[in-house]
Structure 1
Amino acid sequence: MIQIGAYNRLKIARRTDHGMYLTDGQDEVLLPRKFIPEGIGEGEQLRVFVTTDSEDRPIATTQRPKAVVGEFATMQAKMVGAHGAFMDWGLDKDLLVPFAEQFRAIEEGAWYVVRVELDTKTNRVFGSTRLGKYLKGDVRNLSEGQEVSLLVTDVVPEGARVVVDSAYFGMVFPDELHERLRIGESRRGYIKRIREDGGIALTLSPMGYQGAVDESPRIVERLRREGGFMAIGDKSPPEDIRREFGLSKATFKKALGHLMKSGRIEQTFHGIRLKENGNGKP
């Protein structure tokens, strides 16, 4: 069965004036002439994306959408019409986000994180910015300290809202935002805390001793760029440490301890210094 809103590997069945008909052995779908690769003929296979045309008929394309059904992607609103907002998702036919599927009113030219979905009654592919409908509330499979993927969906005074592992909503609070995040940005993060209500608080910095050890080469590299010395140490204010290294004070202190124990740096009253003439090697 040909899947709408997904990639399909289909065989070329026949050629017509309008293009080539592709088949999975049961159903057929038209690949318009402008998308036919040069030198390909009947009986060969093609990987195509299948969507619907303006008359809701299945249609194949060799263009690559930013996301398929069930995925998220960052898209720009090209225009707002009578039925909703039309988003640029990489195909000639724009993706409609109906008004009923908008978390807040979409503005032309702005960027949004969009979930691609399929209306199984009409076989129409549509978009939604009401992301919570498609995310899980059960967080029992998650654990504190776990490394996860983050997709930034909104940046507000309370912090950055993110989709966690394409399945959960989470929040990076201001005390963990040591750099500016952008809507649509993908990052690696770590689960800092899971609240009783299922809310997920995240950090961008690795957690625990091993996480601090993994950050230590970055401290050494920064010291090299600064000529081997920086006027900062484990007694410095947390905001100074976060500004300079993007780390919490606790993680920074663990990383310094590891570097001092390995003989790569020394800490003085005035700051931290690379040992061995600044090469950072034990």
Structure 2
Amino acid sequence: MKESIIGTIQSMNVTKRVAEGFIISNDEEEILLPHDQVNKEIEKVGESVNVFVYVNRNKSPTATMFLPEVRLDSYGWAEVEEVVQNLGAFVDIGVDKEFLVSKDHLPALKDVWPENGDWLFVSLEKDKKGRIFAEPISEGEVLEDLTIAPKTLLNETIVGRVYRSTKAGSFILTEEGYRGFIHPFERKVEPRLGETIEGRVIDVKDDGTLNLSLRPLKQYSMDPDADQIYNYLVDHDGVMPFTDKSQPDEIRESFNISKSAFKRALGKLMKEGKVVQSDGQTVIKHE
């Protein structure tokens, strides 16, 4: 069988019935379509069917009419079925075989590896030996197909799954296709890759992406100036070159507020134990 059709959807014709199901062909290849992989009645030989072609657990090429979203040419969510420390995570794409996400594509820190029941956003890939495996979506591919988040989401709670985990923070995708980022300062525990999390939107960026917080709402000020300053710190790795000694024009240029409003908001953040001033800078206070 041509390896080029493995992992893809093909239009093939039914050539005959057999005890196990149907033999289907595209005039070049013949393959088995088992009875339990048929999702509608096949009435006659010669009928055309759309199938997904893969290699099953017995390492035999086979076909299914249950077309998975995850393919060589398509990304989708796949449930984690098993995690093997020396290999990676096996995911279920909806056929009778699990596909490996290599440990090379999982976080370096095993504490944030996915667990059974988590979901990874993957496509199928083929290695040099023609073997099919699953690989998480890249950041570039996420940005190519981004859904722009509306400004009205600010301070709303949203649900998403972690599709990427890095030292810089965690990245999530929501069911609506919004991309969210969780800075390490905005969480007490780093979420797992593939974990479903609920977070509060603390900023809607100009590019339509979101900044989220996993911290309890009670820790946050309802003061918009204080929120703005804190969000600025989050966006700049927890450090900013502004203090209550900064010049009024510098403050207005960066925050569009007066120095007195800045000092009042900064004082509130300091009183709440969220930030400290040191060496001419303001930094987020680590717990």
Q: What is the TM-score normalised by the length of structure 2?
A: 0.49
